Amino acid sequence: MGKFATIDYLIFIVYFFLVAGYGFWIYYKHKKHTESSNDYFLAEGSLTWWAIGASLIASNISAEQFIGMSGNGFTVGIAVAAYEWIAAIALIIVAVWFIPVYLKNKIFTMPQFLKQRYNETTALIMAVFWLFLYVFINLTSILYLGALAIANLGGAEYFHIIMVALAVFSIVITLGGMRVIGYTDVIQVIVLIIGGLATTYVALTLVSDHFGYGKDVLAGFTQLIKDSPKHFELIVDKPTANSSQDEINKYLMLPGIGMYLAGIWIVNLNYWGCNQYITQRALGADLKTARTGILFAGFLKLLMPIIVMLPGIAAYVLYKNGALQEEMAPGGIFNADNAYSAILGFLPNGMKGLSLAALTAAIVASLAGKANSIATIFTMDIYQKYIDKKASEKKLIRVGKLTIIISIVVSLLFTWDDLLGIGSAGGFTFIQKYTGFISPGVFAMFLLGMFWKRTTGTAAIVGLLTGFFMSIVFNNYAPDWFGHDTFLYTAYLNAQGNYEIPFLICMGLSFLFTMIMMVLVSLAGPKINPKSLELDNKMFKVEPSVMVLIVITILIVGALYVKFW
């Protein structure tokens, strides 16, 4: 693996000072406006549609995609792109139906939605739950995977130094508030896309060169399909009695058509529509700006598999054909999550620095966005409501800044020796699986709360508990309790020799039972809950320009599925 040249350091330093300098300029230019807590946490009314869209992508695409999804690309192939391409459709649903509900009812945080729609108990429970989830699942995994990727490129002995540097850089960006995060994310996403495409270019030319076609991108892509056609099928085949353990493992990760009937939609709609970390970017804007920004993000999502998944498939083909042996198994220990950094090591001087900047941009943007959401929820939904109800705006901002620092330091401590086992679980799968324990209950609460006026606060609590309980049952106990093959699911032997239901199927089943329980409980209440939200048909009408974006996105997704089905 090549080392950094002077030009790589220069490019990275320019990137660092460009982002930091632009952030400071934005902060001091608008400093007089940041005396309001709403402005500090939400950048109320100041983000343009392109800033919202870029910020959504910069915050979403992080180490778990670059490292985890690239690793899944190595293992499974293009089927993992479903997370990105279905996300584009989910963003359309969020833009047309979810965001109007939030803006119409002046919702600024997700716990506020739960309090306004249900009751204070539900809001408080979920506020605390989200804080734990964001700190101990999201921040830790982003920090660990990001430091691992950069360390694999620059030297494993620098792992902890890199981790601290990423934490400090993200704190600097986050302390400027949502306006600074939003506008610096525009630079971050530009660097991310350019650097990511550069890595994909090198990955494909490495393949073409290895097979004797010279440095030809199209020849490299053609060779990927020719060499590993199974890696270019969107639907993973259901295992049979003759299937290998590798084939079973792939299905457990991405369970064929079944995942399109269940978990993949819950993952995406919960993430993009019921998640403070994401919706926060749009909640301070007017409806048209918010919608356009969200749809712009959806369009950018279509590009992401090219940037984060193709290098993983390229690494698989090269490894399979005798290359990248040392890079994929440093110290003799193979890890599919090394796929992206294995490709990065072959970048020429200059491009290596650019790709390092892209990777850093993705990590820092995600850390900053997540930390800002943690601060927003703690300050506005816990501190202001239960600790100091008369706190001044300046004090709320100070509390928010302190929360940012504490949350990142805590995640750093838990990540230092990988106490949560992120490395052994596989980065992308770790996040999806453990987030999936609460996604069914949370999504059911929001969905019924928005669109069914009869849903009650009691039903919300029951739904949350049911979703969590059923997730535990289906993920850990159902095969032993009810058998390996029932009319609801089929469990398969995993690599550890235990029967396991694919977690995306578990998520769908948990959601189904949660919805049933919430409906039954709500039927015992009034026909119209007095706390139901204000809705009208005009909210959901879209402008012609917005409809054009929607149609283009749907056509592209449709074409991709026709091509790779």
For residue 34, the domain's CATH number is 1.20.1730.10
Least confident of 243-247, 294-298, 547-551: 243-247
- Identify whether the C-beta of residue 217 lies closer than 8 Å to the C-beta of residue 384: no
Would you say the C-alpha torsion 465, 471, 472, 478 has a positive or negative sign? Answer: positive
Which residue has tokens 């429970």? 125
Distance CA 420, CA 428 (A): 14
* Phi, psi for residue 493 in degrees, rounded to 5: -70, 125
pLDDT at 33 exceeding the cut of 60: no
Distance CA 559, CA 554 (A): 9
Q: For residue 136, name the pLDDT band (cuts at 50, 70, 90).
A: confident
pLDDT digits (tens, 9 = 90+) for 168-202: 988 888 887 777 777 788 887 888 888 888 889 99
Chain centre distance of CA 448: 24
Distance CA 87, CA 56 (A): 12
pLDDT of residue 44: 61
pLDDT at 428 exceeding the cut of 70: no
Give 390: exposed, middle or buried? Use CB within 10 Å, 0-12, 13-18, 19+: exposed
* Phi, psi for residue 500 in degrees, rounded to 5: -140, 135
Whether 452 maps to a domain, the answer reads no
pLDDT at 375 exceeding the cut of 50: yes
Whether 79 maps to a domain, the answer reads yes
pLDDT of residue 536: 83
Say how many domains are in the chain.
1
- Identify whether the C-beta of residue 127 lies closer than 8 Å to the C-beta of residue 111: yes
Whether 514 maps to a domain, the answer reads no
Over residues 320-327, mean pLDDT: 83
- Identify whether the C-beta of residue 69 lies closer than 8 Å to the C-beta of residue 83: yes
Cα–Cα nearest to 512, from 447, 415, 429: 447
Helix (H, G, I), strand (E, B) or coil at 499: strand
Distance CA 295, CA 281 (A): 13
User: What residues contact residue 533 under an 8 Å CB cut-off, 6+ apart?
Assistant: 101, 104, 105, 116, 117, 449, 450, 453
pLDDT digits (tens, 9 = 90+) for 487-529: 999 999 988 889 999 989 999 999 999 999 999 999 998 998 8
pLDDT digits (tens, 9 = 90+) for 431-490: 666 677 888 999 999 999 999 999 999 999 999 999 999 999 998 899 999 999 999 999
> What are the beta bridge partners of residue 500?
492
pLDDT of residue 360: 83
Which residue has tokens 């939200």? 533
Tokens of 336: 């599919």
N- to C-terminal Cα distance for the chain?
36
Over residues 95-118, mean pLDDT: 90
Over residues 307-331, mean pLDDT: 86
Whether 373 maps to a domain, the answer reads yes
Share of the chain above pLDDT 90, in %: 38
Q: HSE on the CB side for 428, CA within 13 Å?
A: 28
Least confident of 4-13, 49-58, 82-91, 332-341: 332-341
Least confident of 43-47, 241-245, 483-487, 522-526: 43-47
Give 531: exposed, middle or buried? Use CB within 10 Å, 0-12, 13-18, 19+: middle
Which runs of consecutive H residues, i.e. helices, occur in 302-346?
304-308, 310-320, 325-328, 339-344
* Phi, psi for residue 156 in degrees, rounded to 5: -60, -25
pLDDT of residue 70: 87
* Phi, psi for residue 485 in degrees, rounded to 5: -140, 105
pTM of the model: 0.86
pLDDT of residue 68: 76
pLDDT digits (tens, 9 = 90+) for 534-551: 888 888 999 998 999 999
Share of the chain above pLDDT 70, in %: 93
Distance CA 90, CA 370 (A): 20
Mean pLDDT (the chain) is 86
Distance CA 297, CA 514 (A): 30
Interhelix angle 457-472/439-451, rounded to 10 degrees, is 150
Q: Give how far Cα 160 sits from Cα of 143, 163, 450, Å.
A: 10, 5, 44
pLDDT at 532 exceeding the cut of 70: yes
Which H or E element spans position 493? strand 492-493
Whether 167 maps to a domain, the answer reads yes
Helix (H, G, I), strand (E, B) or coil at 485: strand
Whether 491 maps to a domain, the answer reads no
Whether 443 maps to a domain, the answer reads no
Q: Give how far Cα 111 sits from Cα of 15, 104, 353, 407, 522, Å.
A: 36, 16, 41, 19, 20
* Phi, psi for residue 490 in degrees, rounded to 5: -130, 130
Whether 492 maps to a domain, the answer reads no
What is the extent of the structural domain holding 116? Answer: 6-435+535-564
